[in-house]
Amino acid sequence: MSGTSLDGVDAVLTEFAPDGTVRLLRTHYLPYPDSLRTRLLALNAPQPDELHLAALAANELAHLYATAVTGLLDGEDAVSVRAIGCHGQTLRHRPADGYTLQIGNGALLAELTGIDVVADFRSRDVAAGGQGAPLVPAFHVHAFARPGVHRVIANIGGIANVTDLPATGPVRGWDTGPGNMLLDSWIQRHHGDRYDRGGAWAQSGKVDGHLLETLLDHDYLRQAPPKSAGREQFNLGWLDATLQKLGRTVSPVDVQATLVELTATSLAEGIDRECPGALEVYVCGGGAHNVVLMQHLRTRLPGVKVETTGGLGIDPDWVEALAFAWLARQTVHRAPGNLPSVTGARGPRVLGAIYPA
């Protein structure tokens, strides 16, 4: 898994028992080189010769993914692995225009590893009229749903998304808005750091109420699900334009504090509005390590138990990579991987393209 945070590759070795039980056998993390991260970020916007540049980046990603697989297997015979589920790196996500684009060159990855590769998971759902995202709720049902318990799984990656697992009724899920993406971009601009460790910098600032109110006025946050978001909606250009509209200066540290509150508030308001009666929220993704963000989320959800998915037996750092391993398994068995109640697709669909080794 490599997501919108553009930090690196999360790789997991997973075994699925006949009863569907998930066993996390091994994990490996490989950070993106700064040069690759810069080029991928630039490719999120139109530029000259972008098709050529995107193809070169896809090849580089395939080599990086192959290195991650080698590190993950640590000498174990690749023959024992049925398939690699590879999300790829999102460059554009525009379901309203009928497409979503994740690069990574699955054919080259299969050639480099000698293992079947399942990639391009989102396009089939978009082809069926869906948002193509979020896809992880189907795995959340498999791993975290319990009869008679109403809980919410909140994944805070670059974008934040939730899965509503009600005690009765249909499962729902959607992107609530920005997760770590703006927080990471803002601290990198001002301090050169890839992320705000534990939310320490944000904690030293103060929330600017007027700025927060203006940010929360984004059209996307008022839309009803199903919906999905990305850098197209929430990016530094939008933040800069919003700051300019204020007509006054807000200190960088106070902007960071306000961005934490933006993530917490948009997430909590989505849960309040769309998941009435939920008594448990379990957080996964990088945001689970942001102590300040977790505190704000608990404040915004009084009476609700807010913990990480570690409380359910799965480390929050590896839930999304596990989800795409599970989605790859669904594809190999020709089983649907999407939830139409989440994505808005016309029906269940088998997701992904298979590149045989």
CB 26 within 8 A of CB 321: no
Interatomic CA distance for residues 36 and 65, integer angstroms = 13
Task: Tell me whether domains 8-131+317-355 and 137-312 share a fold.
Answer: yes
For residue 148, the tally of other CB atoms under 10 A from its CB is 6
Topology of the domain comprising 137-312: Nucleotidyltransferase; domain 5 (3.30.420)
* Cis peptide bond N-terminal to 134, omega within 30: yes
The predicted-structure confidence for 65-83, as pLDDT tens digits, reads as follows 999 999 999 988 888 999 9
The predicted-structure confidence for 227-246, as pLDDT tens digits, reads as follows 999 999 999 999 999 999 99
pLDDT at 106 (0 to 100): 98
The predicted-structure confidence for 75-131, as pLDDT tens digits, reads as follows 888 889 999 999 999 999 999 999 999 999 999 999 999 999 999 999 999 999 999
Topology of the domain comprising 8-131+317-355: Nucleotidyltransferase; domain 5 (3.30.420)
pLDDT at 77 (0 to 100): 86
Q: In sequence order, which residues have a C-beta less than 8 Å from that of residue 12 and are 6 or more positions away? A: 24, 25, 26, 27, 28, 72, 318, 321, 322, 325
Q: Tell me what the mean pLDDT of segment 207-233 comes to.
A: 95
Q: Band the pLDDT of 353: cuts 50, 70, 90.
A: very high
pLDDT at 5 (0 to 100): 85
- Mean residue pLDDT across the chain: 96
Distance, CA of 189 to chain centre:
22
Give the residues across from 335 on adjacent strands. Answer: none
Task: Check pLDDT > 90 for residue 288.
Answer: yes
Interatomic CA distance for residues 262 and 284, integer angstroms = 18
Task: Check pLDDT > 90 for residue 340.
Answer: yes
pTM above 0.85, yes or no: yes
CA dihedral 34, 39, 45, 50 (to 10 degrees): -170
Task: Check pLDDT > 90 for residue 18.
Answer: no
Who wins on pLDDT, 309 or 230?
A: 309
pLDDT at 78 (0 to 100): 87
Domain ranges (residues) in the chain: 8-131+317-355, 137-312
